[in-house]
Structure 1
Amino acid sequence: MSFIKQSFFIQFLILVISLLMFSPLSFAEMITSGSKTAYQYDKQQTPAPDGYQAFYIDHIGRHGSRYISKPKYEDIAYNVLILADKNNQLTEMGKSLLRQIIRIKALNKNHYGQLTDLGRKDISLISQRMLANNPTVFKGQKIEVISSTSPRAKETAEIFIKTFKNNYSDINIYQQPEDQQTLLRFFEYSPTYKEYKKSKSVKNALKSLENSTKTVEMSQNVASLIFTQGFCNELNIGISLPEKSSIKTADFVIAVYQLYQELLSFSPEILADNHLDFSLYFTKNQLLWFDTVVTSKNFLQIGPAFDANGIQIKIAAPLLLDMLKTADKAITDKNIDANLRFAHAETISPLATLLELEGTYTAVNSVVDYPFVWQAEKIIPMGANIQWIFYQSNQPHQPILIKVMLNEREVHLPLKTDNYPYYRWDEVKQFYENKLSKLGFTDNNTSLEWLNKVK
């Protein structure tokens, strides 16, 4: 074994062992579900310093678990399986998979992109915990709510605020105009970012994983469980499907893996009632690798990628400035209890990196290394959220403190503190204002103009 391969293998073992030792989740749940992971709550609350109590929350959240957003992957899997079935080239496991895909198509019909019952439940529980864990925040003054125009984001906001309706009867959800959603869908308003997503550096990095020997070999192993050898040989060369380019073995297996991830949006009861279980088709090592392949797109397009200060992160600047301004206003005016925002993974991930929250901002030189520094299931699971919780002292002349929660877990900020997870707000604010200034985004800019020009 070469030194490079040996070093990579040792790092891999360290990653696996650490995940198994320090996480209450199962191996498969922890490292094979990426941004499709259903929300997991890990109870963790450090008492506030003596004399301090929470008084305001600034929040941004992702929508809850959803049905598959488009039928792309189920169509690929279904059409290939149907073709093999017509030619009597499915194994018994292949026939079972086809029956499952048919049931998945029935479940998804007329629901693409909508929240599942599990997603609705998770969002409701997040809001209930917010109220229960921070009773001194919700004084019945005012809550301001904004969502993107996406139906699932708006429904998430509606579910979330139900918890507070009894004390805030006049809560309304505001949506920026369709052509000006610069706070929550900033990724749609930067020409430079759109170019970056399609750039050679991103495409080549993705292809390096998708076309790797490891991907090809593992895909062939999975396919051999599903098809006869004759059909496997055809699939290795490429099979033409209606309105599709040639589908090869890796394309098919990755499509099935994508459906495996999507199944995590359903409750265990739904999965059991519909006899949906893909566990026989993948080993744990295969799940780990296909997650690496599929989730690399998130890391490159909305994560730190090769530059944690790159355009894919800079574009979150308008949202960060808005959070700074709304927090300052709440502290000064003392007439609002919370600002709640609802959007998408493409909103949460760049913001988390811009904030330099632990586990979110380490860039890599080679895309194959990213799983060692960035795990989508910890950062942008379904229902992902960032909460800034503000605390004030009952004693005069004491500083305002802030605690930041990523998915309701206390996280370190890139500043020193003698009282983790609590930081002085004036120092946090200054740090982020300086960062925005270096990016060239200040209160003098309009978000739309800046996003159009930023490089």
Structure 2
Amino acid sequence: MVMVRFRKWFIVFLCAFSSVSLAQQTMCVGSKTAYQYDAEQKITPAPTGYMAFYIDHVGRHGSRYISKPKSEDIAYQILLMAEKQNQLTSLGKDLFRQIIRIAELNKNHYGELTDFGRKDIAFISQRMQENNPTVFKGNKIDVVSSRTPRAKETAEIFISSFKSKYPDIHVTQQPEDQQTLLRFFDYSSVYNEYKHSKVVKDSVKLIENAPKTQQISEQVVKKIFADDFIQKLDKGIEVVDKSSVKTRDFVISVYQLYQELQAFSPQVLKDNYFDLDPYFSVDENTWLNTVVTAKNYLEIGPAFDANSIQIKIAAPLLWDMLNTADIAIANNNIDANLRFAHAETISPLATLLEIEGTSAIAESIFDYYAVWQADKIIPMGANIQWIFYKSEKENQPVLVKVLLNEREVHLPIKSVQYPYYRWSDIKQFYTDKLNKLGLSYIPSLATAN
């Protein structure tokens, strides 16, 4: 029991104090991390005489079922083959049982929000209202979401309590042909070229093919298969509708399912006897998380250049936030702008804003976790909130506090009242930055080249 407790504490330590509590998870899971709010975290009171009056927000959908069955298909077919050949260890047999049950839970639900994810979103909305009572006065609230069902449902859940309070709330849905504001990663040919470029592919292969990846993969399969089957897996096994599956491919597939289990509540895990901890030691878990999450760092993180296309494509969204905020300040007739999208939306925006912990570049792909942690930046339900404050006195500056996942964060801007920044300073800094990058205000990805 003592060793189990130590193991769980040590994993949390390795995960650099992830926002998800030990009660909900005991592993690093990158962008699959379930959202959790720390009720004991510090909330800095507004300066004397100031009160919140408007919020500009961008959020990710809540925890979801696995989006595609690829990982469970690979795991199931390899385990089935081993089972028929009587090549499973006792742990292997239990893994096979769990994979079958995982597939049953996911069936007909791929990509949908789980009940756990729905509750997280409802709680984020509830806290937004409770923590900012002076913001919501019954004025207009503009809500837009990307076209995906999980983003739409996230928006509906988030604003359901607003609707009960304000029956006339103004809700809009981003038109299908105008998704560039929130799904910019789907509409830039330049970004698409970068995402599939040789430099990105080679970096992913470098970490996937690293000796440590192979070593750890061998360690994991020894817990699952008999030696004869491992030899076959090392050489590659043909499975239905898949190319040859080797040891590393199998282990990564099982590990990705391990990550995906975080979308379910502790009660669901308990009721279904889900427990993949025995298959991954502390070192194995930490390394495989690094391998699996490397794509996030390269494709939607700072990668090799924090001002390159994978970040610049968020420029139209940043321009939109700057402009909607200016309009809200000038007209004083809207309580909030709420946007709902994806990790691919949140991460580039956070890096473009240079929020602490989002824009540093690692010296090597093997070291990226030291400077960029997906579990802190883009967990399920991730959100960026700009909360605006005005003084009861005339001729006082509008102030802004920025939250990443409901935590006060530093911006690369001077402030004498941190975490409160002058809106004029924020607007000037980001306008200058965007102009310097050649991203003049045109609501189109044509400027993000």
TM-score, normalised via structure 1 length: 0.93
| d(CA) in 2 for partners of 1:160, 1:80 | 41
Residue 410 of structure 1 deviates from its aligned partner by 0.2
Residue 440 of structure 1 deviates from its aligned partner by 2.0
| d(CA) in 1 for partners of 2:252, 2:433 | 39
- The residue aligned with 1:85 is 83
Is the Cα contact below 8 Å between 1:142 and 1:168 reproduced in 2? no
| RMSD over equivalenced CA pairs, Å | 1.8
Residue 180 of structure 1 deviates from its aligned partner by 2.4
- The residue aligned with 1:42 is 38
Is the Cα contact below 8 Å between 1:345 and 1:384 reproduced in 2? yes
* SS of equivalent to 2:93: helix
Instruction: Give 1:447's aligned amino acid.
Output: S
Is the Cα contact below 8 Å between 1:37 and 1:382 reproduced in 2? yes
- The residue aligned with 1:33 is 29
| d(CA) in 2 for partners of 1:345, 1:21 | 20
- The residue aligned with 2:129 is 131
Residue 171 of structure 1 deviates from its aligned partner by 3.0
- The residue aligned with 1:418 is 416
What is the correspondence of 1:321-360 to structure 2 with a 5 Å cutoff?
A: 321-360=319-358
Q: Can you give the 5+ residue segments of structure 1 that lack an aligned partner in the other structure?
A: 1-13
Deviation per residue, 1:404-442 (Å, 9 max, x gap): 000000000001111110000000000001111122222
Is the Cα contact below 8 Å between 2:20 and 2:33 reproduced in 1? no
Instruction: Give 2:117's aligned amino acid.
Output: G
2:235 to 229, 234, 237: 237
- The residue aligned with 2:375 is 377
Instruction: Give 1:46's aligned amino acid.
Output: T
Deviation per residue, 1:129-171 (Å, 9 max, x gap): 0000000000001100000000000000000001211332133
Aligned length: 438
- The residue aligned with 1:367 is 365
2:444 to 433, 438, 447: 447
* SS of equivalent to 1:270: helix
Instruction: Give 1:400's aligned amino acid.
Output: V
Instruction: Give 2:444's aligned amino acid.
Output: S
Deviation per residue, 1:284-340 (Å, 9 max, x gap): 111000000000000000000110001000000000000000000000000000000
Residue 32 of structure 1 deviates from its aligned partner by 1.4
Deviation per residue, 1:259-301 (Å, 9 max, x gap): 0000000001111111111001000111000000000000000
Instruction: Give 1:138's aligned amino acid.
Output: F
* SS of equivalent to 1:50: coil
| d(CA) in 2 for partners of 1:60, 1:132 | 18
- Structure 1's 23 and 195: CA in aligned 2 closer, same or farther, altered over 3 A? closer
| d(CA) in 1 for partners of 2:294, 2:233 | 25
- Structure 1's 36 and 194: CA in aligned 2 closer, same or farther, altered over 3 A? same
- Structure 1's 353 and 383: CA in aligned 2 closer, same or farther, altered over 3 A? same
| d(CA) in 1 for partners of 2:312, 2:36 | 28
Instruction: Give 2:110's aligned amino acid.
Output: Y
Is the Cα contact below 8 Å between 1:157 and 1:173 reproduced in 2? no
* SS of equivalent to 1:180: helix
TM-score, normalised via structure 2 length: 0.94
- The residue aligned with 2:431 is 433
